[in-house]
Amino acid sequence: MATRAANKRLIKEYKTISENPPPYIVAHPSESNILEWHYILTGPPKTPYEGGQYWGTLVFPPDYPFAPPAIRMHTPSGRFQPSTRLCLSISDFHPKSFNPAWEVSTILIGLMSFMTSEEMTTGSIKATDRDRRTLASRTRWWNSTGGGTTARTIAGVSSGSNSRGNGAIKAGDGGVKFKTEWPDLDEENWKWMKENRIDPATGNAVPEAGASACAPEAAALRRRPGRAGSAATLGAVVEGGQVARDAGQSWLRRNKWTIAAVALFSYVILARLLSEGTSSA
């Protein structure tokens, strides 16, 4: 239970962040527990996370602001292990370095800054930019379906239920927690899935019957991260789609015909020069 000082401070901070939210950040306390806050970071432009919807929690100690919160990001991002406590100077891993003057907005701005860097710490992972962009394209699906564990279907799109889920929090909750905390966003996500024909069980874009091609944004949802990503990243996404065949080819293989043509031309010139030299002798 929050102390009187913590309760008063968090109510004040909710008012502040609601009236003046930082760019790409929204947050609110849970209705049932003011010490549990839920945030959404929208991936900023010109980053591998662009347009992604990253949901996480801040769990404050009862004596906040004299101690920092535990910070987690639940949505698979390719940057953090889902639902894992993050070791940051603004988190509960380092209580002595926490400044009581820092507010919720300060903490989330710091988290965004760390996310878009490549610094490593406990709870962070390595992944390619391609993996992170693919994960960003799946975030809305993942949040609202619990990683594919939802029982909700979309007529003409759903292929069936997936009780185990794909990278969901533990066994997956069907998106119940996200819907509870973000009902408006959840409905927007389902509308987006319906419009883009995203299978709730798999996260894959399903083409209409007889369709021979799909839009670029739908094609992105068919990709899966490459092997260069970490095991945690690979476990957080669905299997589906196909990576372009030449993505892993070497430079020599992709340019073999050009190299062959240059080699042949060089051989002809060299042969001609040697022939002229012999004739002159």
Residue 49 sits in a domain whose CATH number is 3.10.110.10
Q: Does the pLDDT of residue 71 top 80, yes or no?
A: yes
Q: pLDDT of 204-263, one tens digit each?
A: 999 987 665 454 455 555 555 554 343 333 333 333 323 223 333 344 455 555 565 556
Does residue 179 lie within any of the structural domains?
A: yes
107 and 68 in one domain? yes
Percent with pLDDT over 70 in the chain: 70
Are 95 and 66 a contacting pair, CB within 8 Å? Answer: no
Residue 209 is predicted with a pLDDT of 75
Do 97 and 139 have their domain in common? no
Question: Among the options 87, 154, 169, 220, which is catalytic?
Answer: 87
In the residue annotation, 87 being an active-site residue is answered as yes
> pLDDT tens across 22-36, in order?
999 999 999 999 999
Query: In this structure, is residue 215 part of a structural domain?
Result: yes
Domain that holds residue 34: 4-115
Do both 263 and 244 map to the same domain?
no
* Domain count across the chain: 3
Q: Predicted confidence band at 145 (pLDDT cuts at 50, 70, 90)?
A: very high
85 shares its domain with 152? no
- For 43, residues 6+ apart whose C-beta sits below 8 A from its C-beta are 24, 49, 50, 51, 52, 53, 54, 136
One domain for residues 143 and 239: yes
Mean pLDDT of 77-90: 96
Residue 164 falls within a domain, yes or no?
yes
Residue at 123 is within a domain = no
